[in-house]
Structures are given as C-alpha cells and as structure tokens.
Structure 1
Amino acid sequence: MAATSAMEGVPAAALRSVLHRVGQAAERSGRSSDQVKVVAVSKTKPVSVLREVYDAGHRCFGENYVQEIIDKAPQLPEDIEWHFIGNLQSNKVKVLLNGVPNLYMVESVDDQKIANHLDRAVGNLGRKPLKVLVQVNTSGETSKFGVEPSECVDLAKHVCQNCPNLEFCGLMTIGMLDYTSTPENFKTLANCRSEACRTLGLKEEQCELSMGMSSDFELAMHQGWCNQASKSAQMSAAATLEKENNAWETTRSKLSSSSFLSQWSFTSRFAARDLVSRLSLNEKAEQLVNSARGIPRLGVPAYEWWSEALHGVSNTGPGVRFNGTIPGATSFPAVILSAASFNASLWYKMGQVVSTEARAMYNAGLAGLTYWSPNVNVYRDPRWGRGQETPGEDPLVVSKYAVNYVRGLQEVDISGNRNMLKVSSCCKHYTAYDLDNWKGVDRFHFDAKVSKQDLEDTYQPPFKSCVEKGRVSSVMCSYNRVNGIPTCADPNLLKGIVREQWNLNGYVVTDCDSIQVFYESINYTASPEDAVALALKAGVNMNCGDFLRKYTVRTVNERKVEESVVDQALIYNYIVLMRLGFFDGDPRKHPFGKLRPSDVCTKDHKKLALDAAKQGIVLLENKGSTLPLSSKYVRKLAVIGPNANATKTMLSNYAGVPCKYTSPLQGFQKYVKRVYYKSGCQDVKCQDKSSIKAAAKVAAAADVVVLVVGLDQSVEAEGLDRVNLTLPGYQKSLVEKVTNAAKGKVILVIMSAGPIDVSFAIKLKKIRAILWVGYPGQEGGEAIAQVVFGYHNPSGRTPVTWYRKEYVDLIPMTNMNMRKDRSRRLPGRTYRFFTGKTVYEFGHGLSYTTFIKFLIHAPSKITIKRSFEQNFNNTSNQTLFLPTDKQADDKMIIDVSEVNCKKLDYAVAIGVKNEGKMDGGHVVLVFWKPPVWSEFKGAPNIQLVGFERVEVKAGKTELAVVKVNVCEAFSLVNEQGDRKLVTGRHELVIGSPSEKWLSHKFTLRADETIKDHQI
C-alpha cells in the first residue's frame, strides 16, 4: 500500500513517465529496458521528494554537487546506489567518500589527477574498489568538463593500470544544451568506447555508456545501441534526469497541488514541449502575446512579459509597479554616459544591481522576470532621439556593453546551475534601427537600405555578440524594414541568423505592435492572417501587442500556417520561464528568493550609481587648468541654465522612480554656502528670452558661474529626432550674455545625449572649462559637483563624434551608408569613415592629471595558417615566422572562415604612468589602421579594437592589458559582406585625439597553406 500510495504522488508519477519512455525506446531498438539504468538526479530538490521516488521502488540516485549528496545520503536508506555526476575537485574527494559510504559510482573522472586522488582516498579508507566512468567532452564546449575524445583512451588506460582501488566501468558525456548536435555527441562517445575496448582488451558489454538527459535519452539509447555489436551491452544512466536543469520542477505556491505543472521531472525543453502539446489552439494564441492569460485547468498562471530595465528597473512597461513597499529603484545614468566610462566591469556590476532589485521586486509581487533591455543599436546619426539609450557609435563598444550588461542582468552562473537565469534580458532593436521620426519620416514606414558591407561590420556585430557571448535569452525585432522586408517578417534575419547561425537560446519578440504595423501602416500583406503567418514562419515567438491573440486561430484554420509552427514559437517562450524558475513554486525558496525590499536602493547601489555618473563625465575643455575649483575660494557661486535644477531630465528615458534626486543645484549647494540660481529659460526649448537678463545679473555678482544647458526629452526622445546640432531656442544667447556679464570664470556644463556644436562657446574667453555630463541619473548633481570641485578626477571619453552643425546639411538621416561616397557627396559616418573637421572626436576626454603611456608588449609578426593546422606560437613578443621566405608586403586576402580564429588571440600590454599630483582613472584606447589597398573598397580609416580603464595613483604606474583576437580585430568586410584578413603592414594606434598617440606597426602574413583569394 505504501508503494502504491507513493506512486500516486508527483515525483513518482514523473518517474513512471520516464520509465515508460525508456521501455518504449528499448522496444523500438529491439532491446530490453533492463539494459538501461535510470539515474534520478534531484539536484536541489528536498529529501522528501527523493523519499517518494525511493518508496516507488527506485534505488539509483545521482547528484551534481558534493554538498547536496553528503547532506541527503545520511537521511535516506543505505541500499541506495549513489552516483556522483558533477565536476569533482581534488579537495572534495575525501569529503565525498567519508560523507557517502554507499557511494556506488563517480561518473566524472576527467583527468589523471582526480583519478589518483580518488584511488588514494579509497585505498586509505579500506573500501572495495570504487566504480568510475571517464567523462568525455564530446561537444567541444569550453563550459563543459571532460577529457578530449582523443585523450579518453589514455585516461581509461591510466585508471585500469595505475589505480587499483578504482574499477573502470565506462564513459560518460553531457551533450549540448540545444540538442541540435546530440546525435554527433553520442556517436562520438560510442566510438570512444569502441576504441577503448580494443585498446584495453574489453568486451563492449563491459564498458557502460552514460549519456542522455530527460529530453534526449531515447536518442542516446538508440545511438549507443546502434554502435554495439552485442545486444547485451549496458546503457548506464542513459536516461539521467536533469543533468543540466532543476529536476522535479514544482509549480508556484499559489497553484493547486493537482495542477499539471507540478508533475514535471523533465528538462526545460522537454517540459515546454509537453506543456504546449496539452494546450488547445485558442489557449496557444492567448500565450503568444506579452499579456499572457492564465490557463487554470493546467495550473499555468497569467504572466506579463513586458518589463524594462534599460538603466534601472523601470515602470515604463506594464510588468513593473512601485508602491509603499518599494517606492523606487536605483536609477543609473543614461546608457550613453555609462558607455563614456569605457569600463566593462562597471557595466557588468550595473546589470547585477538592476537584476538584484528586479528579483527583489518580483519576490514582493511588484515585477516580472523578463526585461526588454538593453538597446544595442549603433548610434549611427547624431540626430537620433534614442541615441541616449545606446552605448554610442562604435560597434566594439556597443558589443562589449551588450555582453557585460546582459551577463550582469542574467547572472547565469551565480546559482551554480549554468542554465538558470536571474532575470531574462533582451537585446533590441534588431536590426539597422536608428531613425524614429525625422522630418516626417517615421520608424513605422522607414525602409533602411543597408549594404551587405555595412550590415556585417556595423549594424549586426552588437547583436551577434549579445547572443553568442552574452548568451542573451531574447532578441527584439524592430519596426523598420531592412532592404524592403520588415525585420519581424524576415526569415533570414530571424531564423537564419539569430536562431541558426548565432544559436539564440531564448525567444524572439516583436517591438510593440510591429506585426500590426507592417500590415496596416505599409500594407505589406493583404490580410492580418497573412501577416501572422509571415511573422511566425520567420521566427517570431512572441508579439508585444494583441495581434497574434486576435488572428492566430483563424490563420491556422485557414491553413496559412501549421499549428506546429505555433507550437515551436511557444516552446521557446516557456523554456525561458522555466529557466527563470517561474514554475518552481514559492519564489522565496528560489536561489534568489532571499532578496527583499531592503535589497532595493541600498547604500551600495546608490554609490554605484554615483560612481557610474562620475566615471562617465567627460572634461571637454580645461583652459589654464581652471578645474578643479576649490570650494574654499568660491564665496559666491551662480548656477544658471534650464538644466541647472534638473531632476527628471537627469534620468533620461525608460526610467522608473528613482531612490532619490540630487539636482546640479543641490549638488553645488553641498560644497558652497552662497549659491544663487536662475534658470535663464522657462524650459530647455528656451523659446522666450525674457529671463536671460536676470540670469546675467546674477552672473555679474558671482565669483564663478556654472552654466548648465543642453537638451531633454522634449528635444531628443523616442519618436523624436533632432533636425540640427545646436542648442535649442535662445540657449546660445543665454550662454553668450551670461558669459559676457560674468566677472569671473565660467564653467559650461552640457546635459544631453546627442552631441552639440558648441564651437561658439569654445571661442568665448571667459568660458574656461566645458563638461559633458550626459543624462547622469539620480546622483547626477552630486557627481557633477564632485568633478567640478576636484573630489573626482574626470576620466570619461566621448562615445560619439561631435560634428560641426553643418554636418546635417551633408547627409540626410534616411541615408544608411556608413562609408564615404565622393560620387554622391556623402561624407561618411562616425570616426571610422568621416574625415572632416569636428568639434570633438570620438574618444576625446581630458583629466586633471598628466598620463604618459608606453608600449610593453605587442606582436610584430603574425602568421595565418589554415584552420586545421593553426598554431599560434606564444612567444614573448607573440611573433610568428613563416616557414618560407615570403616578403612582408605580399598582398593576399584570406577568408576568415578558413582560419582557426580561436588560436589567434594575443594581448597588447601598455604601461600607464601618472606624472601628475592627483590620482585618477585613465582609459586606454587601442585603434587599428588597416593597410591601404585600392583593391579593397570601403575599409575604415581607423577602428577601435580594444580598450581598458585603469586607476593610477599619482606618481605610480599601472599595466593595462588589451586582449585582441586577430579575426575579430583585424578583419575587413568586403562589398559582399564577407570577412577577410588582409596581409601586409598594419598599424596599432594607442591613445586618443586629446593625447599623444603611440604607434606600433606589425606584419600580418599568410603561410603556404593559404591560397591566394580574390576580392
């Protein structure tokens, strides 16, 4: 009776389901299910769950973590066969063996060191020989443990011949998470067994294979048996439950215990697939939109997918709300200012803080877990209203920001489960989206005509990095068309590139109402059903809006799309929710469940917001070392300008409710007793000059004047692009009249995202210093004051080019070409292609101290070989020599696909000495100048290939190391969109326009195995 009762419980039902699948798979292969050993891996699930499975008759259990197994084993019967399947460190061997007397097998021996430690420990304890499996990394993933397939036989031989206290029983592997490559992974393991058996003189039935998880063990069983000559061979742990994900997932605490989801014991992928199979077509349509309704009969709760976290948890979307429990969240600077810090570790920490506060709000019932941030579009044109949301104009900076902020948000590794998400992040807006509303051309109707060359080397790299390196769990397609096709209806962009080439492990969501837009606004399809079919077939998984809810059922019924396509779309959505632990019961029992309202707006979080603002502020001008000011000698300070007392303006767009505000005026009042304030304009548009006279009068009575001018959301915003690069309205007049009236020094502070032509201000003699402060967030006023009075040494660099105002007359915003085109009189865009005169160049930024740089280490020669024999010799100066005496100036173009890029990493080491009297941060920028070839059209003039920020105390020297990959850094994109390496003389340029450059030349060569390629 006890066993029968237990079988009716949730874990027992899950086990029964798995055993049934094992039986079916064995029958299909003409084998017996007795030849398969199911290892039930519980991971973090409680002992009570394991007890239910034990009572149901199961005796074979596994664990990934030493602490978990030594905690659970003593609480359970001794007749259990425990398998340890996780990575085992040598210092944990004795702990494991002493804590689990009934340890049956260790499946993860992956080197001789761990084998030797196990052998000695087993011998010292006087135990009978311990069964072990050699773990093989069959997928080649760096995140996976295991010996290389080519080395597994040697390790197996070592165990058999040199470890008398270990019993070699076979091989184990963990396949790739996306399961697209699992057949090859399993086949590789089976081949390894055959070779090991031949070498060791074993029969194949004596060598077990442990492979497969809950979603793919049938495939593992089939592959393992297909490679066996004997029908008695054993498949050990071939149906291991949850090696990569939490097992026995339970539903949220508010659901009934009889709900469907409480029966899960499968991987996220299989669970999602099985859940979707139980939905009706109407229910599926309800789940394809951001406001997904609940499914009570299955215990699926309603969920709002749309939340924003661009630079802090925001209530812009419907998924977040603030109340008396949590009235606000930390508001960091606008992304454009944070990017000016060129500090990748800062971007990661910001992501961590934002996701911590998001989880705390989720636990309090005030927020969701899916955040449609960051914006990783390249800031192509200085007029773009949403440039403030982006990390700037350089593809590398945008890419690195995307990777680090996303990693900080998602913190995939922090729980010890590489698949679990802290929150889900989304990189948007894919792709070539950087026009909102310019002179009547809006984003809903705009068709971005983009060359293959520009798409590959400018618009796509941030998204590629976000998916491949950041491992983002969502990508948002944009409103615009690219070369005639709406991005949300383009199967090449979505399925072909994002899903298949970059391997997105997550969902694709439309920008809000994008499907409706391409149907209604541009009449791209004849009917709403055609629009739905087009989007789903292209690879859209979710619609922000109601369009898919309204028309999906009819689309399927009219046979314009198969229901299986709808199913696949939903599966990706549910996988993300499962990785977030959304169905894991009470959120307080989640790994992040201890986060509380007290974890929002903490002292450390507010300090990081202040640090981010200070690190980003750029000192544009400092005539005669006017700054920093001394508060001791400033008796009367005039603070003037439309942004001088700004609060909400400092937050930029997509902002929530901040923890607090510190306006510039409040910041200065902390350091100077007598501060006088006049706005000089009614608002930023400054269309009335009647207040300028009063402001000039205040300036005339002050020792020092700080003018805070610039822009706000009434001038640059989502849905609003600029038409010029000048200060709005009468702000220029305000600056001139106040400066002329001032009796002392004038400090000009520019609060904006987009660059402004302030050439007139530079010429005014009384303006002694100019600062750009972006939109500095909740701590902006304090940050500005600390920089002005020398409590912080500025180190920010401009992340965009500051063009002269005439630039807007040279090229329409609708022209997407990056490259200069003399025939069409196009000047080129960004520092990479524009060679005209500027106000400030990309990377400009001054300091209160003096830094000098010197080159310590860089390559002088690099040889490129074919991918199958690339061997990057790690010599002291990273120099490689050709086997033959080819000339350095040989001209060859090599396709990157033929090169083993992973073995072409190197480092540039730069010494940074602070020769001044003030501690400070310094950003080291490393640019590349490609060889000039008339045969290769469209190469950039110069391109950033790396950067590093270092803190250097006065009189001290620090080392900055910039890591560079040859294929990524030194490749050019041809007109067909293909990446090529060009041999010849190359040059590294270290520094920025505002400092002395360092130049280093090196040679890129090809050896004889590379054949000449034509452009």
Structure 2
Amino acid sequence: MKTTPLSKTLAILLGLSMACTPVGAQTPPKLATAEVKPPYLDAQATAQARAVDIVSRMTLEEKAAQLQSGTPAIARLGVPAYDWWNEGLHGVARAGEATVFPQAIGLAATFDTSLMHDVADTIATEFRAKNLKARTASGGSTKRYEGLSVWSPNVNIFRDPRWGRGQETYGEDPFLTSRMGVSFIKGLQGDDPKHPKTAAVIKHFAVHSGPEADRHFDDIHPSKRDEVDTYLPAFYAGVTEARVEGLMCAYNAVNGVPACGYTPYLKDILKTQWGFKGHIVSDCAAVADFYLTTSHAYVKTPEEAVASAVKAGTDLICDFNGNKTFDPAVTVNAVKQGLMSEADLDAALIRMFEVRYRLGLLDAPGTGPYAAITAKDYDTPAQRELNLKTAEKSLVLLKNDGLLPLKAAPKRIAVIGPNANTAEALVGNYNGTPSKPITVYAGIKARFPDAEVTYIEGTGWVAPPLQDVPDSVLCVDAACTEKGLKFEEFKGPKLEGAVVATRTDKNAKFSWGRPTREERESSTRWSGYIKAEETGAHRFRFTGDDGYRVFIDDKLIADVWDIAWPTSDSDVQLEAGKTYKLRVEAVQRGTREDQKFQWSRPSAGGEKAVAAAKDADLIVFAAGLTSRLEGEEMRVAAPGFAGGDRTSLDLPAPQQKMIEQLHATGKPVVLVLMNGSAMSVNWADKNLPAIIEAWYPGGEGGRAIANLIAGDFSPAGRLPLTFYKSADQLPPFKDYSMNGRTYRYFTGEALYPFGYGLSYTIFAYGKPVLSAKSVKAGGSVKVTVSVTNSGQRDGDEVVQLYVKRAVTGAPVRALKGFQRISLKAGETKKVTFTVDAKAMSVVDVNGQRQVEAGAVELWIGGGQPEARKDLKPAAGTAATITVTGRKTIGAF
C-alpha cells in the first residue's frame, strides 16, 4: 500500500490503526497511551489541519473514492461513509416527512428577506434532526438525502418563463435573487462560520436556464454585459456576503468549455476575484458530459474528463446511472496517466474534509454546538405555523373586482379543478413529504365549516380527469372467474433476471413505506384482464415519479418508462362489457411512496362540475400546472409542454374550457393558479372577478388560500417574474441575450408586470426626501419616504425602489431595493433606501460598471410605475438625483 510520506511517529500510528473496522462504523484508531494524538483525531485542532492530516494518510485509491458524491467508509481511519447529495430547495427533500414550504418561486414572491432567513433556519434544523437520526442508527454513516451538505439554493435567473426549472429560482431579477439567496444561505448555515449548521451549495454556476432537453450539449456565449448585469450577481452576493460553503457548476458549456471545467469562472472569477474558499461540486453527470459524444465531447476519455474538471477547480463529482466517471478507478488512472497530479486530488479532498469536520460529521453524533437539536425536531406544530405564515405571504392577488374578501360566508361552495384536492399541487419539485397536507378543498372546508362544500375535479391538467381503476374491473383470467392481477417483482429497474416475488394483487398498486437506498431499485409487472364499464376513449396512468408501460391486448398504449406524463397517443377505444388483456410494467426507485393504476373514462367530463357550480354560491377553481408537467429534463408529451419546459404560457386547453363553462353559470368564480411559472390567463383576467396566484404553496397551502379568500389577512405577495400576455412576446428560448427579456429589457405590454400584486387595503406615499439632490459619480444618496396605510384594515406593503438611467445599454428600469413592512389601518412608517454607486451604474459592453453623469430617476412604490393601460398603477412617488462626473467602479 502506497501512502503519502509521513513522519516516523505518524507512520507508527498509522500502523497501529490498521485493525479491521466494520464498513461505515465511525471508530477511530486506538492509540497507545504515550502517543501524541495526530491532528485528524484531535478535536481541538483546526478543521483545515485535521483535513490536511487525514488526506495525507490515504492511499491513492482511497482518495479517488472520496472524489465521488457517494463516498465510502475508510474503516482504518475511522471515516464513515457519507453521501454529499442532499436537497433543501424549500424544505428537507426526499427524506420522508418534513415541513414543505412554498416552492422557491413562491418564497421569492414574499419579498421578505427576514422571513426567508427564518424559513432556511428551520430547514437547517430539520436537516440536523434527520441527520442525527440517520447517524445514530448507522454508527455515523449517512446515505443520500441524510447529510448536512445542502445543494440549494438555485439562484439561476428565470430569464424565460418557458423554463421548467424556473420554479426552483427566485425569479427574473438579479437584485431580488441576490437578496433572497443571501438570506436563505445565511439561514441554512447559521451564524458560526467555524461550525455551520448546514453547508449550503449555491447553483448552477453559471449562465444556465434551459431548455432542459439541450442542457447536456448547449454551449452558451453570454455577452460581458449580460454576465455582469444578469447572470453572475446572485452568485457574487452568495459568495462574498453570505460566504456560501459550496457551489455547483452547471451542465452547459460556456464559451466552448463545459461549465465544470471553465477556468475563467471557477478560478479567475470565483476564486481569484471573489475569494471563494469553499468546495465545488459538479451537477450530476456533468463531468460525464465532458467526453460523451452525445454531449459536449470536449475530451475523448473519462480520465481526461475527471482531470479537466479537477484541475479547473471542481472538487467533487456527482454522477449516477453508471457513467464511468463514477468509478474511482478512472481517477486513479487519470493520476497514473499524468493527466493530473496527486496534489491536485489532495487539494480537492482537503476542501471536502475540512467542511465535513466543521459540520461535525466526523465527530460523535449529537455533540457540538447543535447538540440541543433532537431527532424529532422536524415537521413540528410550530414549524407548520411558520409554513402557514410563509404561504400566506407568498400569495399574490392578481385581480379583484370587489369579490374578495368575501362579505359573508357562502352557504354552498363548489371547489373544482385538477389542483383542488391533490397534495401534488402543493409541493412542486425537489420536495419533502408534508405529514398533513392541506389541499385547497380541505382548506376551504375547514375555513367555512358551516358551508356545504362540494369537490369535483371536473378536468385533469391536460386531459380528462383520472380516477383510480376499481378492483372490480380487474381479473386474473379472461372469463373473470377470479378478481385481481398476477404480480411479479424483479431486482433492478429493467424487469430482468429471476422473479423475486409473485402473488395475486387486487390491483396494480405499490407502496414503498420507508425504503433504503439498496431496496429502491426494483421493477414490477402486473398481468391479467380489464373489463370496460363504458364505451369510448380511455387513457391510463400509473402514478408516481418513476417509469411505466401499459399494454392493452399486447398493444403498447402508454410508454412512460422515463416520461413524467403520458404520451398524447395513449388513448385507447374500449367497449362496455368487453374484457381486454392487460399488462402494467413499472420501475420503482422509491422517489414516491405510493404508486397506483388510474384511468380516465368517457363520462369523466365536466358535466358534474358544471352542475355543482350551478348549485353553488361561490366557485373556487384550482387550476394551473404540476411538477409532472414542468420540471427537470422530463419527457412530457402533452400540448404546450416539451422536455419539462413549456411551449405555451396559456392554461392547458381542458382547463380553459372548464373555466369558461363555470363562468357561464353566472356564479362568481375565484381562479386559484397553482404553478411554478408565468401564466397567460388573458381570458380569465377579462372575465373573472378574482384571480389568486398561489404557486406551489407548500403543505399548508390550502389553509393559506382559504384564509385569503375569507379575508383573514390582506395579501401582499408580489410577482417575482413578468406574466406575459403570450409566449409570442418573447425572443427564442435558446437565445441567452437579455434583449427583450424580463421587465428590465422587455418593451412590450405585460399581462401582469414584475413586482405586481393587489391588497385589501390602500397605501399612500409621501414626498421623498433626499440626503442630497446631486452627487459626484461614485457617491451615494439616502432617500426616505413616508408610507401610510390609508385603508380600513391592517396590511403589509412591499415598498420597491426602482432606478432608471437614460444611458446606452441601461435597462428600462431596475429594482435596487425593497422592504416589506406591516402597517395598521391609518399607520404611517418611514422607509429609507441607500442609492449607492452600484445602483446608479450601468454595465458597459466590456462588463465594467460605469457611473455616468446625468439624471438618476427613482421610483419608490408598491410596484412598477407603469403597468398595462387598463391596469391601475401601483401607488408610489418619484424623485431625481443628478450625478456629476463619471467613474468606473468595476464589474461587481
């Protein structure tokens, strides 16, 4: 065994530590009484000293294994196994029950940095609780989704609302994204830099925002202006202000080089200019993209790929699906072939082990500065109440003709729509599991206990509504003498090898419970017959996040093996009373606990919904999307969707038809939108009395929506992205130039502008007071304005500061400050902003910020000063600062 040279004393100690230790156990080597404790075993030594020492004791093969995200144990050194992969976008994800806060785009809509910090701090507590439970049970090791390295937040700019992953971001504005990102990172990591609560990982660096289908081979060539003005500011803030522990590089290439090997970003900007001292992890399979001919094909071999990434600054390789870069032997070969040095590998691992020491992951579970957190400190009543508060603050009232808040509780309420009674519409993607999810239907029932509340789905998201296939129509044999289906289970995801379990099931259903990582990979087959109850077109679906196929009479009618939504040609004509041969095949990886067989039948139209609406005093229609339609690299074959992205911003046609039918009843309709991206609801805006944007509002979402409708609070959420009238107003999706994009560079008329949101009360703004009306380039000015709640009820106002410069290359206007304040009816508060040199600057074509002479136009208000011609503008006030001289203040 070849190791890095050690001192004589350390060599003796290493020899003493070679006793066999069970894999995964955290048992450090025993020392003779007289021996000096080596640094890696000394809890009083610095994390860096411990990291340097322990890496020096590893063989090349051991080091190579530690370069992958799923690191094995090194028993002889007392190092437990650790998987770095963990997600905390809006709560502890993929680890069972947790507090599921509103999706990231909904968190951004709160425009509340203090709340954002509290949310992230709560998420960090829950991570600690989950990690403690896992480490205590395993003796120190943790599997995927059990660690304290949190691959969040996503601060990519939502430059185009068609991007399916835009829901994971804080919207289209770099300033808002920066402020919310900094608060989230600080909340996750805590106040002790030596002992972070968790290690946040900001992503995806950089210039990354779809299309999803092209992300593994797209090569982006951003202008210097767009880099500095749009794509990099939030990363800069996360690194320099929040001192984020980690950073994830992106899939796409930048200027011809894969992002995880692009030294101008990873070394020149990130480490040299910004002083980043943390670790860099690749997006999962991104390093494989270096050499795969179907991706970037930047190099020819896996060894070259690993070397290119590590030498550029990538410290950890996340991979999956059997790509060769996941094999530690590739890294060993890269060193032996001279493609990179062992010192390059050491430098990466020292950074990784340093953060493990600082997190306490190499010390005994339940010790250290967070020892007061117990394994039960997640999904508590107090945390759910914070979640409710957050959901309420995230809701944006888009339209209100006076219907809301309700003047009196209705006697009969019809709750209709594909998002009305499903937890799926609450959670978005990268989510945990709420223990007590409150849907819109459940929230309305609870808030209006004396009303007769009826729920009817009415329509599915993109097709007729789906219902569970009843046990009564499933048969083992063609004559239906025996009910049920034959079940077969296989180890692995490909229906290969010997059958490991067989039985007769009543239905095609699968429930995971709490699978281990090893138990997650399996595949199943149900076979038998199905007896149709109606004549006409039927569509089938097997719920869950994993793939499936459905065969009728041996004809493949739904091929969704790796597609998140059924194909458009999955309809099959069945005849009532006739029996058909059935086969359902599915893969299970444990990403959802329950999977079941569903169908849509010819009679499952909107007639029942319309009938219920006619009998109601109020209609609540919960419409929108789901993370099965918009999301990460999906194969969705439905009108208006492609690859997880959207091709249209309109509501899917079945939902639009349903809305029009409900409106035709003459009863008042409240449209509740639940989605992660902009919606072009032009018809609804013209015809319906009230529209609420609820995003994917989290586990308490139904309560929050019902409370808003009832008037328990005044809404104050604001749009963190532009709602366009149509996708036709946008440049091509693949064009990364910011020209014509977002409120800062869009010159058309939006349906609802960035920063927009209505209230149940009225706010008035006084005349602004400037600390100086004129300033030399490079100086700053304070602006103070009085804000009064002149309405009849208490409420929050989001005071927004916009800056406009009549300078070449300047945006139409740009957000440079915001504060969310609470005002009682009749109360006045003063709000002060500092307009500094950066706020007054404009980025030139060379990527330098210039403060030019001339007027700096300020707007301070509850939204932008200009809206649609027929939309009442936000209350606010204007002021002007005059700049004399000219000054370059640098890029960031």
- Determine which of 801, 809, 812 is the counterpart of 1:941: 812
For 2:318 and 2:207, the matched residues in 1 are separated by 20
Contact kept in structure 1, 2:775 and 2:781, CA below 8 Å? no
The 1:380–1:844 alpha-carbon spacing in structure 2 relative to 1, beyond 3 Å, is same
Determine if the alignment matches structure 1 residue 789 to structure 2 residue 710. yes
Q: Which has the higher strand share?
A: 2
Which residue of structure 2 lines up, in the alignment, with residue 754 of structure 1?
A: 677
Aligned to 1:844: 756
Q: Determine whether 1:473 maps to 2:252.
A: no
Instruction: Give the secondary structure class of the aligned counterpart of 2:55.
Output: helix
SS at match of 2:164: coil
- Aligned equivalent of 1:489, options 250, 257, 261: 261
Letter paired with 2:62? E
Structure 1 residue 989, shift from structure 2 partner: 0.8
State how far apart, in whole Å, the 2-side matches of 1:351 and 1:954 are.
Answer: 31
Per-residue CA deviation, residues 617-661 of structure 1 (Å, 9 max, x unaligned), is: 0010111x21001453x1011111111112122100000122320
Q: Name the structure 1 match of 2:506.
A: none
Q: 1:254 to 1:787 in 2, by over 3 A?
A: farther
SS of the aligned residue for 1:426 comes to strand
Gaps of 5+ in 2: 1-5, 11-23, 32-36, 136-145, 466-599, 634-643, 865-872
TM-score (norm 1): 0.66
Amino acid across the alignment from 1:725 = L
Q: Percent identity?
A: 37
Q: Which amino acid aligns with 1:853?
A: Y
Deviations 1:263-296 (A, max 9, x none): 4643222222222222111111011011111111
Aligned with 2:390 (options 612, 616, 632): 612
> Do the aligned partners of 1:861 and 1:1005 also contact (CA within 8 Å) in 2?
no
Alpha-carbon distance in structure 1 between the residues aligned to 2:646 and 2:150: 28
| Cα distance in structure 2, aligned partners of 1:685 and 1:391 | 30
| CA–CA separation in structure 2 for the residues paired with 1:586 and 1:1012 | 48
Matches within 5 A, 1:761-780: 761-764=684-687, 767-780=688-701
CA contact (8 A) 2:55 2:63 kept: yes
1:723 aligns with 2:637: no
Find the residue that maps to 1:531 and give its secondary structure: helix
Deviation at 1:579, TM superposition (A): 1.4
Matched, 1:799 2:720: yes
* Aligned match of 1:711: 625
Counterpart of 2:437 in structure 1 is 661
Alpha-carbon deviation of 1:744?
2.6
TM-score (norm 2): 0.75
Count residues in correspondence. 691
Report whether the alignment pairs 1:425 with 2:200. yes
CA distance in 2, matches of 1:270, 1:500: 23
- Paired position in structure 2 for 1:145: none
User: Shift of residue 915 of structure 1?
Assistant: 1.0
Contact 1:631/1:671 (<8 A) preserved:
no
1:284 aligns with 2:63: yes
In the alignment, residue 807 of structure 1 is paired with which amino acid? D
Question: Which residue number corresponds to residue 878 of structure 2?
Answer: 999
**Residue 577 (structure 2) aligns with:** none
- Report the aligned-residue RMSD: 2.3
Contact 1:949 1:960 (8 Å CA) reproduced: no
Q: Is the 8 A contact 1:312 1:655 kept in 2?
A: yes
The answer on whether the counterparts of 2:26 and 2:78 sit within 8 Å (CA) in structure 1 is: no
Equivalent residue for 2:403? 626
Match of 1:125 in 2: none
Map 1:917-928 to 2 at 5 A.
917-928=792-803
* TM alignment of 1:588-987, pairs within 5 A: 588-623=366-401, 625-632=402-409, 634-672=410-448, 673-686=451-464, 690-719=604-633, 720-741=644-665, 743-764=666-687, 767-807=688-728, 810-819=730-739, 828-864=740-776, 904=779, 906-930=781-805, 932-933=806-807, 936=808, 938-964=809-835, 966-987=836-857
Structure 2: distance between partners of 1:307 and 1:786: 33
Q: Which amino acid aligns with 2:204?
A: H
Per the TM alignment, residue 365 of structure 1 is displaced from its structure 2 partner at its CA by: 1.6
Whether the 8 Å CA contact 1:519–1:527 is kept in 2: the answer is: yes
- The change in CA–CA distance for 1:905 and 1:305 in structure 2 (over 3 A counts) is farther
CA offset at residue 686 of structure 1? Answer: 4.8
In 2, Cα distance between equivalents of 1:666 and 1:434: 35
Deviation (angstroms), 1:505: 2.4
CA shift for structure 1 position 352: 0.4
CA-to-partner distance for each residue in 1:920-977, whole Å, 9 max, x for gaps? 01000100001x24xx3x210100000000000011112223344x232111111111
CA contact (8 A) 1:450 1:817 kept: yes
Spell out the pairing of 1:243-282 with structure 2 (5 A cutoff).
Answer: 254-258=27-31, 261-263=40-42, 265-282=44-61
Letter in 2 for 1:606: R
SS of residue paired to 1:990: strand
In 1, the alpha carbon distance for the partners of 2:72 and 2:147 equals: 14
Q: How does 1:495-644 map to 2 (within 5 A)?
A: 495-520=267-292, 521-545=295-319, 547=325, 549-583=328-362, 585-623=363-401, 625-632=402-409, 634-644=410-420
CA distance in 2 between partners of 1:862 and 1:460 (Å) = 30
Which of residues 364, 373, 396 is equivalent to 2:175? Answer: 396
Q: Distance in 1 between matches of 2:329 and 2:390?
A: 44
* C-alpha contact (below 8 Å) 2:766/2:787 kept by paired residues: yes
Q: Does 1:455 align with 2:232?
A: no
- Give distance in 2, aligned partners of 1:504 and 1:359: 25
**Change over 3 Å in CA distance of 1:264–1:617 after alignment to 2:** closer
Asked whether the 8 Å contact 1:412–1:419 carries over to 2, the reply is no
The CA distance in 2 between the partners of 1:599 and 1:1011, in whole Å, is: 50
Deviation digits for residues 389-425 of structure 1, max 9, x if unmatched? 1110000010011100000000033xxxx42211100
What one-letter code is carried by the residue in structure 2 that aligns with 1:529?
E
Within the candidate set 98, 105, 109, 1:336 is matched to: 105
Which deviations, in whole Å up to 9, do the C-alpha atoms of 1:113-170 show, x marking residues without a partner?
xxxxxxxxxxxxxxxxxxxxxxxxxxxxxxxxxxxxxxxxxxxxxxxxxxxxxxxxxx
Q: What is the rounded CA distance, in whole Å, between the counterparts of 1:796 and 1:527 in structure 2?
A: 50
Indicate the residue corresponding to 2:486 in structure 1.
none
3-state SS in 2 of match to 1:379:
coil
Instruction: Give the conservation status (yes or no) of the 8 Å contact 2:258–2:296.
Output: no
Deviation at 1:610, TM superposition (A): 0.6
Separation of aligned partners in 2, 1:967 and 1:485: 34
**Aligned 8 A contact 1:684 1:712 in 2:** no
Match for residue 123 of structure 2? 354
In structure 1, which of residues 406, 410, 413 is the aligned counterpart of residue 189 of structure 2?
A: 410
Cα pair distance change 1:404/1:705, threshold 3 Å: same
Letter in 2 for 1:787: L
Q: Say if 1:795 and 1:922, in contact at 8 Å, map to a contact too.
A: yes
For structure 1, list consecutive stretches of 5 or more residues without a partner in the other structure.
Answer: 1-12, 18-250, 316-320, 323-327, 820-827, 866-898
Aligned residues of 1:686 and 1:731 also touching (Cα < 8 A): no
Distance 1:515 1:671 in 2: 51
2:718, 2:222 → 1: CA distance? 29
TM-superposed CA distance for 1:1011, in Å, is 10
Is the partner of 1:840 in helix, strand or coil? coil
* Closer/same/farther in 2, CA of residues 576 and 1011 from structure 1, 3 Å limit: closer
Work out whether residues 208 and 252 of structure 2, in 8 Å CA contact, stay in contact via their aligned partners in 1.
Answer: yes
Q: What is the rounded CA distance, in whole Å, between the counterparts of 1:651 and 1:954 in structure 2?
A: 34
* Higher relative helix content: 1
Letter in 2 for 1:350: V
